[in-house]
Structure 1
Amino acid sequence: MSNLLLMVVVFIAAFILGYILISRIPQLLHTPLMSMTNAISAITLLAALILFSVPTTAGEKILGSIAIIAATFNVVGGFVISDRMLKFFKEK
């Protein structure tokens, strides 16, 4: 149970710190930042998949499933939005 508690504390701390940092970034830098967060979400996705390669409890499986769904949504959505933004710079 202590590993699960540690993971939850790290998740909450990362969420709060990430929100504080991202909210202070100027809007001009959001597109490059979004590409970076796509890469971070891909790493989260891989970490959640690795979590399922070892024996886990039901609670850890639920948290891992939520992490996979959230990271996949973020990666796919981020690439779709990045693609739309890049189309603005293409010549017609």
Structure 2
Amino acid sequence: MDTLDAAIAKLRAATDAAQQAAQAAHTYADQIAAAGHAATGGAIDPFVFRLAIFALAVFVGYYVVWSVTPALHTPLMSVTNAISSVIVVGALLSVGVAGVDSGSGFAKLVGFLALILASVNIFGGFLVTERMLAMYKKKG
């Protein structure tokens, strides 16, 4: 029984330490956000900042994908399928979970569109991967 109490005490101490670390990280993030907002004089809207990051990610993604050699295409498609499967799980949660308030009708519509597009991406990725692997099989 003493070992159980000791284990529970260690768990509580670890939980408290993790909670303090999370609060410290949250405080640091708030300070950094406030410093960034003050450095620009409050002139940059957060939406514009996030839109700029999205636009840069689109350009980086475009150049990364088009510079992939054919030998690396199959592993890249596998990673893309894995990412799309995570999107499918999130979209299913957004669309179909009745026990959770999943937002407005617009959120459900966007979740449904994400579900359809990610499913098409997964299916197409498997088709392309199958064709790429078929190129390496011996004929005859």
- Normalized against structure 2, the TM-score is what? 0.51
1:64 has 2:111 as partner: yes
CA distance in 1, matches of 2:90, 2:124: 19
SS in 2 for 1:44: helix
* Residue number in structure 1 paired with 2:76: 33
State the identity as a percent.
38
The structural deviation recorded for 1:20 is 4.3
The structural deviation recorded for 1:26 is 3.5
Q: State which drifts further: 80-89 or 15-24.
A: 15-24
CA distance in 1, matches of 2:74, 2:129: 7
Written as runs of structure 1 = structure 2, the 5 A alignment for 1:47-58 is 47-52=90-95, 53=97, 54-55=100-101, 56-58=103-105
> Which of 1 and 2 has greater Rg?
2
1:38 counterpart letter in structure 2: N
* Aligned alpha-carbon RMSD (Å): 2.5
CA distance in 1, matches of 2:61, 2:92: 22
CA distance in 1, matches of 2:113, 2:76: 23
User: CA 1:86/1:79 → structure 2, altered by over 3 Å: closer, same or farther?
Assistant: same
Structure 1 residues without counterparts, runs of 5 or longer: 1-5
The structural deviation recorded for 1:71 is 0.1
Structure 2 residues without counterparts, runs of 5 or longer: 1-46
The structural deviation recorded for 1:47 is 1.0
2:61 counterpart letter in structure 1: G
* Residue number in structure 2 paired with 1:86: 133
Looking at both structures, which has the greater relative contact order when contacts are Cα pairs under 8 Å and sequence separation is at least 6?
1
Match of 1:13 among 54, 57, 66: 54
CA distance in 1, matches of 2:120, 2:75: 18
Q: Please give the per-residue CA displacement for 1:11-30, whole angstroms capped at 9, x wherever unaligned.
A: x8286253343234334322
- Normalized against structure 1, the TM-score is what? 0.73
